[in-house]
Amino acid sequence: MVRFGIVGTNTISEWFAGACRATDGRAEAVAVCSRDVGRARAFADKVGATDAFADLATMAESVDAVYIASPNGLHRDQAVLAAEAGRHVLVEKAMGASLSEVQSIFAAAERTGVVAMEAMRNVHTPAHQLIRDTLPRLGTLRHARFEKLQYSSRYDRFRAGEVMNAFDPTLGNSALADIGVYCLQPALDLFGAPRQTTGASLWLDNGFEAGGSLLLDYGTLVADLAYSKVASGLGPSVINGEDASLVLDDPGELSRIVLHERGGAETVLLDGPQVSPADTMVFEVLDFVDQVDAGLTDPRWRDLSLLARQVMDNQLDRGAS
Amino acid sequence: MVRFGIVGTNTISEWFAGACRATDGRAEAVAVCSRDVGRARAFADKVGATDAFADLATMAESVDAVYIASPNGLHRDQAVLAAEAGRHVLVEKAMGASLSEVQSIFAAAERTGVVAMEAMRNVHTPAHQLIRDTLPRLGTLRHARFEKLQYSSRYDRFRAGEVMNAFDPTLGNSALADIGVYCLQPALDLFGAPRQTTGASLWLDNGFEAGGSLLLDYGTLVADLAYSKVASGLGPSVINGEDASLVLDDPGELSRIVLHERGGAETVLLDGPQVSPADTMVFEVLDFVDQVDAGLTDPRWRDLSLLARQVMDNQLDRGAS
């Protein structure tokens, strides 16, 4: 049983508490921390946690692990603090605002012998594992397309002149780190480290990276990742091999996977109800608890987070206007 | 009336002769040239042309214009020869194997006052014009995806060990010049010259460029072009604006165009029967004849061919393995 203290009181923290309840007792949300202790108390009551704190260091003393879902710009300092207090840390994506921030979190965890993991829920799901297991049926992989194009609910207000956090580049936000990563991490986990990457972003007048295409170049395979917060997409995500293609409905919340063989045969491999983030989050919690039980950070997830952040940094540095 | 002599006796030349017949008398295929005059004669009889030649220079004396559909590696020399003989030249795509080859064709035509045009049929169609006319309804353009992913009918033989012309890089062939160009030319015609391009190709063991993704970077818009000769694609092509998206069935032979507004409304703008290359070719012939009648190469098509070849050269030079 891992007893979690939650940092942050937004929707995602509520989903997380629900995910803990769905682990058959392997994880529990026991405490909440917020600068405003009244808000922490109210949120704790809402999600069934016992304790409320205004101070992370104090909360850390009373829990096994800290789940960090504060604004991205705070992740690194809070995660390092919790790790140095000897607590395991599960950090919402984006784990850090740069590769060096992510490296410093893993380094702190390694120094004190605790587990650190990025809460990147879509690579921990059985649906993602089903894709991995199916890849050999595609033959030599040639072209993959992962797409997450959304017109953000907040973009209308940006267009009306209001710069909200979600479109503020000074907070370390970007469409890539916010939603492009739902394409990037599955691609890197499925195909490995590319020999090189390239890409192009589109920029708003205030310098916010609002979308783009990122290419992972494997020499014999190109993975083409498209993401946006300012336009809706209508294409599926597809992994094309020489012998078959795999069509995915949404790399973020997969609910449908269909295998199309070159001869024309179609096999529906997954056709579940639409899934919510709360549904898929339980798998990341379980993978985290497994590591806590083993007393070791799993290099698979650590290296994936590090590689993804490096690729994101490269893309954001490339052609910034 | 433009009286054409045809160089080349493949399927595409047969389509071209049919396209001439469909111009209501504005163009006619009157002669055929092939190294093997017997083959030229047989093909002339098949398509209703009068004369057969074994020599391009001789054929050029008896026609108004030459349509060149020989192997790509011969295009430049044949086009320059015909232009220098004072004949208008319509050259199948890829017009030349490099930017300098394409430049030398246009330069020869300019010197002798004849018209030169690349036979890139899909940008001359009413369906393409319909896309152009509809773009303002999409709002600010943000992300475009043009896709042409095909498992070539010849690739099974390549996999069995036979290197056919279609997969022979020494002939100046590539998936990009062969089919990627069906994505590239419409994108460049619709969106203009990008501020920069990047991309990644995949390569076969013999050095053949067999597919890739090519990104046109407009700063506020990314056009993402995906093409392959070794894997089939299942995604549509989509132009995403802030207010609406336009979904296209096939950038090469468009038969369906649907406007999806952000609120959910869908408008079918085109839903024709499946079109064949022979159907769409007639529009390029008419655009060519218009230029012959005006006595001037249209800079729109010339600049598009030059820009496309430059972008293709950059992509093929990039990361060749």
Q: What is the pLDDT of residues B89-134, one digit of tens each?
A: 999 999 999 999 999 999 999 999 999 999 999 999 999 999 999 9
Paired sense of beta strands B141-149 and B237-241, if any: antiparallel
- At position A35, the amino acid (one-letter code) is R
Mutate which: B222, B239, B267, B314, vs A, most A CBs within 10 A? B222
Q: Quick one: pLDDT at residue B120?
A: 97
Give yes or no for residue B179 having a pLDDT over 80: yes
- To the nearest whole Å, the CA of B263 is away from the closest chain A CA by 11
At A211, list the tokens: 């979308």
- Contact predicate B227/B179, CB 8 Å: yes
User: Do B2-119 and B123-276+309-317 have matching folds?
Assistant: no
Cβ atoms of A199 and A172 within 8 Å: the answer is: no
Taking an 8 Å cut-off on Cβ atoms, the answer to whether A200 and B220 are in contact is no
Q: Which two tokens stand for residue B222?
A: 């990314």
What is the arrangement of strands in the sheet containing A256-261, beginning at the earlier edge strand? A196-203, A209-217, A222-228, A141-149, A237-241, A244-248, A256-261, A266-271
Half-sphere exposure at residue A22, Cβ-oriented, CA atoms within 13 angstroms: 16
Min CA distance, B147 vs chain A (Å)?
10
Tokens 């009648």 locate to B293
> Cβ of B199 and A220 within 8 Å?
no
Longest dimension (CA), chain A: 62
Instruction: Give the tens place of pLDDT for each residue, B224-252.
Output: 999 999 999 877 999 999 999 999 999 98
Contacts of B320 (CB under 8 A, 6+ apart): B201, B203, B207, B209
Contact: B220, A234; criterion CB under 8 Å: no
ipTM for this model? 0.93
Instruction: Give me the residues of chain A with pLDDT under 50, please.
Output: none
Q: Give the start-to-end residue ranges of the domains of chain A.
A: 2-119, 123-279+309-317
Is there a contact between B23 and B10 (Cβ–Cβ < 8 Å)? Answer: no
Give the number of beta-carbon pairs within 8 Å between A and B. Answer: 149
Token output for A128:
């993602």
Of B155, B234, B321, the CB nearest to A247: B234
**Architecture of the domain defined by A123-279+309-317:** 2-Layer Sandwich (3.30)
Query: pLDDT band at residue B9, thresholds of 50, 70 and 90?
Result: very high
Q: Which residues pair with residue A147 across a beta bridge?
A: A226
Q: Which fold has domain B123-276+309-317?
A: Dihydrodipicolinate Reductase; domain 2 (3.30.360)
Instruction: Pick from A232, A247, A315 the residue to mutate for testing the B interface (most B CBs within 10 Å).
Output: A232
CB burial of residue A265 (10 Å; 0-12, 13-18, 19+) = exposed
**Per-residue pLDDT at B320:** 63
3-state DSSP assignment of residue A203: strand
Q: Do A236 and B235 touch (CB under 8 A)?
A: yes
Fold of A2-119: Rossmann fold (3.40.50)
pLDDT tens, residue by residue, A3-21: 999 999 999 999 999 999 9
Buried-state track B125-159, b at ≥16 Cβ within 10 A, e below 16: bebbeebeebeeebbebbbbbbbbbbbbeebeebe
Which of B143, B228, B238 is closest, CB to CB, to A143?
Answer: B228
Q: How far is CA A148 from CA A141, A182, B262, in A?
A: 21, 7, 16
| pLDDT recorded at residue B319 | 66
Distance CA B260, CA B78 (A): 46
**Rounded Cα–Cα distance for residues A175 and A316 (Å):** 10
> What CA–CA distance (Å, rounded) separates A83 from B205?
48
Those residues whose C-beta lies under 8 Å from the C-beta of residue A191, and which sit 6 or more positions away, are A141, A144, A216, A218, A221, A223
Q: Give the closest of B199, B235, B321 to A219, CB-based.
A: B321
The pLDDT tens digits for B38-85 are 999 999 999 999 999 999 999 999 999 999 999 989 999 999 999 999
- Residue numbers in A near B210 (CB within 8 A): 142
A246 contacts in chain B (CB < 8 Å): none
Residue A269 in contact with residue A257, Cβ under 8 Å? yes
Contact B14, B46 (CB under 8 A): yes
What per-residue confidence (pLDDT) applies to B215? 98
Chain-chain contact of B151 with A203 (C-beta, under 8 angstroms): no
Chain A contact probe: residue of B240, B256, B262, B318 with most A CBs at under 10 A: B240
* Interface contact flag, A222 B201, Cβ < 8 Å: yes
Nearest chain A residue to B243, by CA: A231
Residues of chain A contacting B201 with CB distance shorter than 8 Å: 222
What local confidence, expressed as pLDDT, does residue B223 receive?
A: 98
| Residue of chain A nearest B318, judged by CA positions | A198
Chain B hits for A224, CB-CB cut-off 8 Å, are 213, 224, 226
CB A319 within 8 Å of CB A200: yes
Residues A83-114 pLDDT 10s: 999 999 999 999 999 999 999 999 999 999 99
Does B321 have pLDDT greater than 60? no
pLDDT at B235: 78
Residues of A in contact with B220 (CB under 8 A): 202-204
Beta carbons of B292 and B115 less than 8 angstroms apart = yes
Predicted confidence (pLDDT) at residue B164 exceeds the cutoff of 90:
no
Long-range pairs, A70-76, Cβ under 8 A, ≥24: A70/A7, A70/A8, A71/A8, A71/A165, A71/A171, A72/A96, A72/A97, A72/A171, A72/A172, A72/A173, A72/A177, A73/A97, A73/A171, A73/A172, A75/A101, A75/A105, A76/A101, A76/A102, A76/A104, A76/A105
Beta bridge partners, B197, equal B216
Distance from CA of B199 to the nearest CA of A (A): 7
Residue B231's identity, in one-letter code, is A
